[in-house]
Structure 1
């Protein structure tokens, strides 16, 4: 239970992180997440969420984010699973899905991430197991694409190969 509390502690900071968050590094394209506040929150929580210990060996972390009535980004639900989302269902009202890869997985997006993206039909962010790298994944014109989300800016969409 202690390790799960660490994850809960990491995600309990979302509202305070989001309050007043702004993103001036780039205007968002009309694709994917419509509000940059989700990107800002994902940037802020990537490392603590990725590094929060869990008892499931090589478990993967999923969470769904939404905006509450005061405009703060909140966690709708969070799940620790054994695979790429087989047991994860985003809560009603979810705006964004966040998925943390475990250390046994490639840190970058993989084909299973795109399968989940197609299933959820929601913008998705992938965080590497060390929390150092973040990617937004999307299906644009029928093609699997991803882009890096860095503290210095948002990368260009790149074809997934």
Structure 2
């Protein structure tokens, strides 16, 4: 489940002050994509990411999710996958509890490999997860979050 791991890594990278963080998959299903010659399958699940008592701006976190979707899952609607849903509870001192639900579909195929664990028609295969970036990272450009100097925005000068 590379997508869940990749999403988990994204959160761990961009939530440095999280007091509690957890991620898991639920409501999973396995779909057989057996072919005439080589077997495969798809898994579909809801990835749950839960951040507790984190000092962060949820809007910035959502932008990272949008960037992740643009990179890894541009064709969600064609796959019949719902858009991400979330719940946010604002705590005191700029801290939040956030729960994010994201439907994921990953494809697995058997790839011929002399060191593989699966034998089919006399050949050895390994189970290979097809999760990868849908676009070249260089085409997207880097998502950079920065903070300007104090009092350089019009709304800050009006006080």
- Structure 2 length-normalised TM: 0.28
Max Rg structure: 2
Q: TM-score, normalised by structure 1?
A: 0.27
